[in-house]
Each structure stands twice: as C-alpha cells, then as structure tokens.
Chain A
Amino acid sequence: MLDDRRALEIVLPKEPGVGFKHLHFEDLLNDRGCVSWLEIHAENYMSDGGRKIAQLNRLRQDFPISCHGVGLSIGGENPLSKDHLNRLEALVSWLEPASFSEHLAWSSHGGSYFNDLLPVPYTKAALQRVCEHIDEVQNILGRTMLLENPSTYLVFEESEMTEIEFISDISRRTGCGLLLDVNNVFVSSTNHSVNPYWYIDEFPLHSVGEIHLGGHAEDSDDEGALLLIDNHGSEVAEPVWDLYEHVLRGAGALPTLIEWDSDVPEWKILEAEADRAFRLMNIVQDEYVGLP
C-alpha cells in the first residue's frame, strides 16, 4: 500500500525551485522563467483558511511543491509534539507535496518553541533519539522524508562522531533521504575550520533528494576570526556556487532550491539566481558519468 502510493508520487524535478514568498505570487503565475517547483514552510500554512492557503491552492496546480518543516524539533530531548504531528499530517494530506523535509536541529523544549534551529551533539544517544523521531514522522506521514544538514556555530565536547557519520547513520537506519544545504556546509565548514570540499566528498550523495542554496552574512568570533551566519538574506556567495558545482560533478543534476527569506528581492533577481543554478546543472549534466 505504502509502496503503491510512493510509486504514484510526483518527485521534485531536477531543475531549480525557489522558496515561495507572497510578493512573488503574480510573477510565478505570469513569468516563472526557469523555476519549475516551489518550497513552502509548513508552519505558515497550518491555518483554517485565508489568502495564504488560497494562494498555495492556486500554485499547487502549476508547480510541484516541496513542504519544508521548521518546527518539528526532530533533535529535541522531548517527544515530538503530537499536536504538531497531527497538524503536519493534515497539511500533507491536503497538499500532497512532492517532498517533505525537516532539519537536523531542535527548536522546542518544555512546551515552548524558540523559533531557531538549535544544534544537536553527535552522540550515540542523540542518534538513537533522532532516528526514533524520524521513524515516527515517516510512519505518520506515510512517506520518506528528507533531513537537512545544519549550519552550526559551536561544537559539543561530548560529540562522538563527525556530522557526516551522524547523518549517514540516520539515513541508513531510518531510510530517510537527505537535503544537502550547500550554504550550510560552507558556513559550518568555515566556522569550524573544516575543508568544505572534503565534507562534500565524504557526504552520502546517493541519498540526497534536494539541494539548498542561500546567502550568508559575515561576522567575527571572540578571537576576531571570520564567523559566517546563515541568514538567507542575500545572493548565494561565490564560493558557495563553486562548492555547488563540485556537488553537481559528484552527484549529477539535483532539484536545487534558492532560499531567500529576509530582504526578499524582486522576482527578476531571485529568478536570475535560479537561472544560474540551472545553467550549472546543464553544463555539469553533459559531463556527468554517474555516482562513483
């Protein structure tokens, strides 16, 4: 039964998508350019009605939708919120998105929600907990989800494995796919003095179902060293484009999302970012020979 449903699922196209912003609603209907799919934040559509739902209902007729959760708190110490799982299940049943994804992070504790993606230590205990949570989500939604790698600013002394080992284990144990946020890789690698190309080469690219690209800001840490902050408030940075090209050479064309959530630009500028990703996909696809 589950397999039958999966066989009927529309998967995200191996083309560019953008995070849907309400100010681009008319542009998307009239002048979508190279953008072939959209991503929405699930929590923004958990209402009974109103304009947001109506716009989404219109767009889903023309675009495959990726439903991206920001509030499940999969890395949390507490059990997942049953209320939130039920709201999510209702949204996914109605929307029938091509894909559902969430973050390797926590955001709720003790009945409060902190509206940020907080970091998870890479320990065996955390691994067990995250896997149980992902099993629960996949059972309730009746589909495989994608898990996104985080942007981080600190590390945990208690960590027992690398982020890649942690994420690979989760994917193996739960069968979930992965959402590779290339900007997050660049941000975290810079912040922790890791070579981002090494990260990509070690990453289980065969499990990646979607890529995120977004902008980051520059700051400095306590020692005055460069500290990058993931803020989705600008164009994708040049070194992140280079890293993305490296991903494509390793994995071939993949559904690629441009995320721009604050200081959202006019449509032409966002579409140009998507077009740049599309051109890279096409160039690399011609040379691509398959996953090693």
Chain B
Amino acid sequence: MSVCHSEFIDALLDPQKPVPNGLASRNGGTAKRFAVYRNKFAVSLTEALEAQFPVIRKLVGDEFFKAMAGVYLRRHPPESPILSKFGNRMPEFLSDFEPVEHLPYLPDVARLETLIRESFYSKDSSSISNETLRSLRPADFLESRIIIAPSARTIQSRFPIFGIWRANARGEGNPTNRPEEALVARRQFDPELYLLPDGGCEFMRLLASGHRVSEAADLAAARRPDFKLDQILALVLSSGAATELEPIKHNSGERTLKCG
C-alpha cells in the first residue's frame, strides 16, 4: 500500500499517532525507525529556535523553552526552507500561550529578538561619512532627508524592553519599571541595541516616510514636549541606522536623488 505525504506528516508531527501503514523494516518493527524522523524534525527545529531566542530562553529556563518549542514547531512549522524566518510567529504564539500569561512582556522580547535577527540578515549599507556631515551647514542639515539603513529596526514597548534585553543578554544593569523604546542597528555586521529617548521611534518612522529632519522633529515634538532632537540625532547618525543624506538643493529647488 502506498504512503501519502499528508499521512506521513501527520505521524511525523504527532508522536501519539501510529507509524503509517506501508512502511516496513527488515525485522518488522517500524516505531523506533520512524522515531528517527520525528526526532530529527523536532530536535533540529528546537535548536533553531534556541539560537533565535536566547533571551526568551533565559527568561523561561531551558527545560520550559524546549517544551514550548515543541508546541510552537508543531503549530507553526516553517513556511519555507529559510530557517532564519522560522521564529517570526513567536510573538503572536507567546501572546496566546497560557503557561506564560504571567510574563506579559515575553511577546515584546520575542519581537525584539526577531528584529535583531532580521537586522543581522538584511542588506549591507554604509553610514553617512563625517565629511558629508561636516560639509553641511546646520540649517541645510535640518532641511535634509535622512535615508534609514535597511538593517535598522525600532521597537516601542509598554515594558522596559531595552533593560530586560540588556540584563539578560549582557548581564548588565537592572530593568526600570517604565515603558521603553529601542533601536536595533548595525555598523558593520553585528546588530546592536540602543535605548531610544522617548519619541525616538516616532521620529524615525517620520524620517523613514520621507519627512525632512526639521519636519520630523516638529511633528515629534508636537506629540511629546520632552522630545530631545540632539540626543536622538546623535544616536541615529552614530549607530549605523542612517545610510544616506539627501541635502536640499538651493539653486534648482530640486532635491538630489540618491539610492539608499
């Protein structure tokens, strides 16, 4: 009798199900032999998740993480062979996973670890050079557009997301008890995490949607009176989060186009 792939997969995902009929061995028994496939599937994907979510793993403990990964990988098996994207549904999974209800910040931590991974695999770009920055008058700089690097990501959380990450990933500091915003950016290949001053996410979103520095700053300050442009700009420019400047052209009134 033939073994269809749906039946094979049903048994692969559920160790309680019997080995599909039509599979055989020289001695007759098939259970331990079929278990080789079940193990490879579960163990390799659990290892992939462990590598992708080191902070979640630290927060819930190794044993719990393994058990939780077993549930995740059966509920959300990878959608493609690109395993770097396999964990992308972890934030929504954790939101609905009852055993971690008492850790309400976990989905945001998973979102952050997903952004760090995305940054690691994203397109390379160069930072804006100091010469470029020095060559611009401050007034012209404020009228420029900043192109955000493909590897830059921001996250806004109602939890102290930066502090939680730093304490667990680096063993540094203690998390505060206030909401935090953070920036993930790469100078070369290694994503770094930075605490963004309040309003930083909104400001970067405005820059990314094409607003000039001055416009983005005005809009962000209108929403947050304590918005600190200097601090945020220093971080955006030094972290690798900005890749190009499009200065305004005075003579023609047209802006120069540069590829980001």
CB–CB B3/A48 < 8 A: no
Of the four ranges (under 10, 10 to 19, 20 to 34, 35 or more), the interface on chain A belongs to 35 or more
A87, A112, A121, A153: most-surrounded residue (chain B CB, <10 A)? A153
Contact A118 B8 (CB under 8 A): yes
Does residue A108 face the partner (Cβ distance < 8 Å to B)? yes
Docked complex: A35-90 residues within 8 A CB-CB of B:
43, 46-54, 70-72, 76-78, 81, 83-84, 87
Q: How many A-B residue pairs have CB under 8 A?
A: 146
Whether A47 lies near B122 (C-beta < 8 A) is: yes
Task: Give the complex CA separation of A89 and B83 in angstroms.
Answer: 18
B44 contacts A116, C-beta separation under 8 Å: yes
Question: What's the interface size class on B, roughly?
Answer: 35 or more
For residue B44, which residues in chain A have a CB less than 8 angstroms away from its CB?
A: 115-116
CB distance from A221 to the nearest CB of B (A): 5
Residues of B within 8 A of A223 (CB): 27-29
What residues on A are CB-neighbors of B150 within 8 Å?
48-49
Do the beta carbons of A71 and B27 come within 8 Å of each other?
Answer: no
A193 interface residue (CB < 8 Å to B):
yes
- A contact residues around B81 at 8 Å (CB): 43, 70-72, 84, 107-108, 113, 115
Q: Which of B112-151 contact A (CB under 8 A)?
A: 120-124, 150-151
Q: Which of B33-41, B173-181, B212-220, B249-257 contacts A (4 or more CB under 8 A)?
A: B33-41
**Does B17 count as interface, using CB distance less than 8 angstroms?**
no
Cβ-defined contact, A222 with B30, below 8 A: yes
Residues of B within 8 A of A173 (CB): none
For residue A271, give the distance in angstroms from its CB to the closest CB of chain B. Answer: 26
In the complex, the answer to whether B22 meets A115 with C-beta atoms within 8 Å is: no
Q: Is A116 a contact of B29 with CB atoms below 8 Å?
A: no
Give every chain A residue within 8 A of B123 (Cβ-Cβ). Answer: 48-49
Give CA–CA (A87, B81) in the complex, Å. 11
Contacts of A70 in B (CB 8 A): 81
Is B170 located at the chain interface by the 8 A CB criterion?
Answer: no
Closest-CB distance, B12 to chain A (whole angstroms): 7
Contact A154 B34 (CB under 8 A): yes
Q: Does B1 contact A (CB under 8 A)?
A: yes
CB closest chain-B residue, reference A126? B2
Which of B72-80, B102-110, B196-204, B229-237 binds A? B72-80
CB of B33 within 8 A of CB of A221, answer yes
Min CB gap A228→B, angstroms:
10
Distance to closest chain B CB from A16 (angstroms): 26
B25 touches A155 (CB 8 A): yes
Q: B5 on the interface (CB 8 Å rule)?
A: yes
Contact B24 A155 (CB under 8 A): yes
Q: Tell me, yes or no, whether A199 is within 8 Å of chain B by CB.
A: no
Contact status B5-A106, CB under 8 Å: yes
- Docked CA distance A156–B34 (Å): 12
Bound-state CA distance A158–B1 (Å) is 6
Q: Is A172 an interface residue (CB 8 A)?
A: no
Nearest B residue to A83 by beta-carbon distance? B80
Write out the residue numbers on chain A whose beta carbons fall within 8 Å of the beta carbon of B32: 219-222, 227
Q: Does B9 contact A (CB under 8 A)?
A: yes
List residues of chain B with CB within 8 A of the CB of A154. 23-25, 30, 33-34
Q: Which residues of chain B are within 8 angstroms of A239 by Cβ–Cβ distance?
A: none
In the assembled complex, A225 has its CB within 8 A of some CB on chain B: yes
A229: CB under 8 A from chain B?
Answer: yes
Q: Which residues of the partner chain B approach A193 to less than 8 Å between Cβ atoms?
A: 26
Q: Which residues of A contact B45 (CB under 8 A)?
A: 115
Query: Which of B23, B34, B124 sits near A157, CB closer than 8 Å?
Result: B23
* Interfacial chain A residues near B80, Cβ < 8 Å: 71, 81, 83-84, 113
Name A192's contact: one of B26, B34, B48 (CB within 8 Å). B26
A44 to chain B, nearest CB (A): 8
A108 CB, nearest partner CB in chain B, Å = 7
Q: How far is the CB of B79 from chain A (nearest CB, A)?
A: 6
Q: Are B124 and A49 in contact (CB under 8 A)?
A: yes
Instruction: Judge whether A113 and B26 touch: CB under 8 Å.
Output: no
Max count, chain B CB within 10 A of own CB: residue among A72, A83, A116: A116
Contact status B189-A54, CB under 8 Å: yes
* Residue pair B79, A227 in contact (C-beta under 8 Å): no
A47-B121, A154-B30, A156-B3 provided; 10 other pairs, C-beta below 8 A?
A: A43-B81, A50-B120, A50-B124, A106-B5, A115-B83, A153-B33, A153-B34, A157-B24, A158-B3, A221-B32
18 example contacts (A-B, Cβ-Cβ < 8 A) are as follows: A47-B121, A71-B80, A109-B6, A109-B8, A110-B5, A115-B81, A115-B83, A121-B3, A156-B22, A157-B24, A158-B3, A219-B36, A220-B32, A221-B29, A221-B33, A222-B32, A222-B33, A227-B36
Q: Footprint of B on A, CB under 8 Å?
A: 43, 46-54, 70-72, 76-78, 81, 83-84, 87, 106-116, 118, 121, 123, 153-158, 191-193, 219-223, 225, 227, 229
Interface residues of B, Cβ cutoff 8 Å to A: 1-6, 8-9, 12, 22-34, 36-37, 40-41, 44-45, 48, 77-84, 120-124, 150-151, 189-190
- 7 tightest CB-CB pairs across the interface, nearest first? A71-B81, A222-B29, A51-B189, A47-B121, A48-B123, A49-B124, A112-B77
